[in-house]
Amino acid sequence: MDERRALVTARRGDGRAEIPLLPAGSSRPVPGWQEQGPDADDPQLDLEEWRRRIRRHPGELKALLRNQAFVAGIGNAYSDEILHAAQLLPFRKRTTLAAEEVDGLYESTRSVLNRATGVLRERVPPTFETEVRDFLAIHNKGGQPCPRCGTRLTEVSAGGTATSYCRGCQR
């Protein structure tokens, strides 16, 4: 339990004080302090539940999809795939989404994960992560043409994490 509280010890003046690892004002919950979200492919996560949960998270869409307090189980690659399927830019804020875009994000999440599960099931046993991910549409394919609109895919990297998206058909 203690390690989940994410505390670091910092020197301050003549003494030591424990301070939270997260910066002040961060909306990201400390793991273990808030409920973990349902699995992204949990049948109980229906559209109503999705709409209800997403209201609590105002931030960027890519971070939102990867936030385990929102939904669990979506990693870096699939967050790119889902946003491309939904035609939404990864750095767009959730607060700017129209109601139909919130619903579209739900549909894309389900369809991308269902498709991935189907493909992976056909390929038993998987050998390497890169091998079982060769069916992804855009992740790690910066510079290649978008499968939907042909625009050259953009790839940006922050902190060792690659984000791929299309400026042509995601907004």
Among 7, 22, 120, 149, binds Zn ion (CB under 5 A): 149
Length of the chain: 171
Binding flag, residue 168, Zn ion (CB under 5 A): yes
Among residues 45 and 166, whose Cβ is nearest to Zn ion?
166
Which range in 4-12, 21-29, 134-142, 158-166 contacts Zn ion by CB under 5 A?
A: 158-166
Cα torsion angle, 24, 27, 28, 31, sign: positive
Record the tokens describing residue 90, joined without a space.
Answer: 């990864």
Among 146, 154, 164, 165, binds Zn ion (CB under 5 A): 146
Among residues 57 and 62, whose Cβ is nearest to Zn ion?
62
Binding flag, residue 142, Zn ion (CB under 5 A): no
Query: Are the beta carbons of 112 and 82 closer than 8 angstroms?
Result: yes
Binding flag, residue 148, Zn ion (CB under 5 A): yes
In 3D space, the residue among 67, 141, 140, 151 whose CA is nearest the CA of residue 109 turns out to be 67
Which range in 100-108, 122-130, 134-142, 159-167 contacts Zn ion by CB under 5 A?
A: 159-167
Among residues 50 and 165, whose Cβ is nearest to Zn ion?
165
The counts of H helices and E strands in the chain are 5, 4
Which range in 14-22, 63-71, 121-129, 140-148 contacts Zn ion by CB under 5 A?
A: 140-148
Helices (H), the chain: 47-54, 61-66, 76-86, 99-122, 129-132
Among residues 132 and 137, whose Cβ is nearest to Zn ion?
137
What is the C-alpha separation between 7 and 18, in angstroms, rounded?
6
The rounded Cα 64 to chain-centroid distance in angstroms is: 6
Binding flag, residue 166, Zn ion (CB under 5 A): yes
From the CB of 102, what's the least distance to Zn ion, in Å? 21
Record the tokens describing residue 113, joined without a space.
Answer: 């994960």
Q: Which residues bind Zn ion (CB under 5 A)?
A: 146, 148-149, 151, 166, 168-169
